[in-house]
């Protein structure tokens, strides 16, 4: 690896080396998919240098605004805070005549570059893969875009909702007969980010064995269609168009659905005969599997409305949390439909250490914030950061000095308005 090791190379307890310590990443990404990718890599120890436009920075700084005046004054939106922990910020005007000089010097000493401009944007600025490969043949260059770097839709702008629409996700989500519905969170952005981490890690492994860098072309649409693979297969194999089915199972099994209880909704997934029987017994309906209307899966599908009414009448006797516990003991997959505040207070997530503390800069009043940790745990894989999401340009002088820029050069770039 070519990157200089830094404070991010140690886990929060300082006891173990982070697996990506020494990997240096130049991050030209904005909003969600790219920043979430590079945050995950930063939590594993990569030194992520976030390059932002000197006029306003990452678009995400102004999206999902915070209510804290200090955060608002420093363009630290809730969205930005969620995906930028562990990074350092450098400001650079990419349209400035000296921008190319700066980027090439950064790329020459980097392991990875990640960008999520529209296809062709970096090439037009002379900063595409082929150009930067000349200064660093070992560079792993990751391009994230809505539709990919090639093809008829490649130049089009994209955000998560438009990709959900293009991928078929919206056509199969929501209530029967209702208008198409997107998810209540940025599904394709976050999934593409995770796919990009996989791609970058694979390319770094390949480079360690061969010495070769690579250009990785990540498409949000490709990622979304990959997530849709089982649903798409239903059409490709059976010739039947998948349609929205509300909260019921995609197989239309009425024992996999969301049901009202004494205080909220309970999501049950009891698709097998044994789970249906256990569900019925737990609800005090042990004779239900013997009812000829519900004896087989096809019988239950044909009489789904009657079965649902029977379940709802029984579930009204207790709240969703109580039913969740009873069904867990019976071996039936089920969970109350939790609100976001309930998720943040969840005991299982607390046990897993999912919400990690991180300090805030004195300019923001100090104190602490929180980021969501990586989803995997390994006995020998340390992770974590004590570096908060950066203020715009907070580390410009520090980073440029590390990349070999003299004080005079930095001062000149600032006088000329490049940084």
In angstroms, how far is CA 43 from the centroid of its own chain? 14
Cα 57 to Cα 74: distance, rounded to the nearest angstrom: 11
SS3 track for 36-88: HHHHHHHHCCCEEEEEECCCCCCHHHHCCCCCCHHHHHCCCCHHHHHCCCCEE
Whose CA is closest to 49, among 370, 341, 394, 333?
394
* 290 flagged as catalytic: no
262 and 316 Cβ atoms separated by less than 8 Å: yes
Sorted by sequence, the CB contacts under 8 Å of residue 360 that are 6+ apart come out as 366, 367, 368, 369, 388
Q: Which of 27, 47, 58, 189 is catalytic?
A: 189
CA distances to 1, 4, 27, 210, 337 from 196, in Å: 19, 23, 13, 21, 30
Cα 334 to Cα 247: distance, rounded to the nearest angstrom: 13
User: Which alpha helices (H) appear in 74-219, and where do they start and end?
Assistant: 78-82, 99-108, 121-124, 129-133, 160-166, 187-210
> What single DSSP character describes residue 319?
-
Residue numbers annotated as active site: 189
């Amino acid at each position: 690896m070519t990157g200089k090791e830094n404070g991010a190379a140690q886990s929060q307890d300082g006891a173990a080396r982070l697996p990506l310590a020494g990997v240096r990443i130049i991050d030209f990404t904005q909003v969600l998919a790219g920043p979430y990718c590079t945050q995950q890599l930063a939590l594993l120890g990569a030194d992520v240098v976030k390059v932002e436009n000197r006029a306003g920075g990452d678009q995400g700084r102004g999206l999902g605004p915070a209510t804290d005046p200090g955060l608002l004054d420093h363009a630290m939106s809730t969205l930005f805070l969620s995906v930028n922990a562990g990074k350092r910020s450098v400001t650079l005007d990419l349209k400035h005549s000296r921008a190319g000089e700066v980027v090439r010097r950064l790329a020459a000493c980097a392991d990875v570059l990640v960008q999520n401009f529209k296809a062709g944007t970096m090439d037009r600025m002379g900063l595409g893969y082929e150009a930067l490969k000349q200064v660093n043949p070992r560079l792993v260059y990751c391009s994230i875009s809505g539709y990919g770097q090639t093809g008829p839709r490649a130049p089009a702008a994209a955000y998560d909702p438009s990709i959900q629409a293009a991928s078929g996700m919206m056509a199969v989500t929501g209530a029967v007969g209702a208008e198409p519905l997107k998810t209540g969170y940025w599904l394709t952005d976050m999934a593409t980010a995770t796919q990009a981490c996989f791609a970058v890690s694979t390319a770094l492994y390949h480079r360690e064995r061969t010495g070769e860098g690579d250009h990785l072309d990540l498409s949000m649409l490709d990622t979304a269609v990959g997530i849709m693979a089982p649903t798409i297969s239903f059409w490709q194999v059976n010739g039947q168009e998948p349609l929205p089915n509300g909260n019921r199972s995609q197989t239309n099994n009425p024992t996999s659905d969301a049901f009202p209880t004494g205080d909220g909704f309970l999501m049950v997934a009891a698709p097998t005969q044994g789970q249906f029987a256990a569900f019925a017994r737990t609800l005090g309906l042990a004779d239900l599997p013997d009812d000829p209307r519900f004896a087989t899966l096809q019988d239950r599908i044909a009489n789904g409305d009657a079965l649902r009414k029977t379940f709802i009448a029984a579930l009204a006797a207790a709240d969703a949390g109580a039913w969740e516990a009873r069904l867990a003991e019976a071996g039936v997959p089920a969970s109350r439909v939790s609100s976001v505040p309930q998720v943040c207070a969840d005991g299982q997530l607390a046990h897993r250490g999912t919400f990690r503390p991180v300090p805030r800069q004195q300019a923001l009043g100090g104190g602490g914030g929180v980021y969501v940790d990586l989803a995997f745990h390994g006995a020998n894989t340390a992770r974590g950061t004590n570096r908060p999401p950066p203020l715009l340009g907070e580390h410009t002088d520090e980073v440029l000095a590390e990349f070999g820029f003299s004080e005079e050069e930095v001062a000149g770039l600032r006088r000329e308005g490049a940084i």
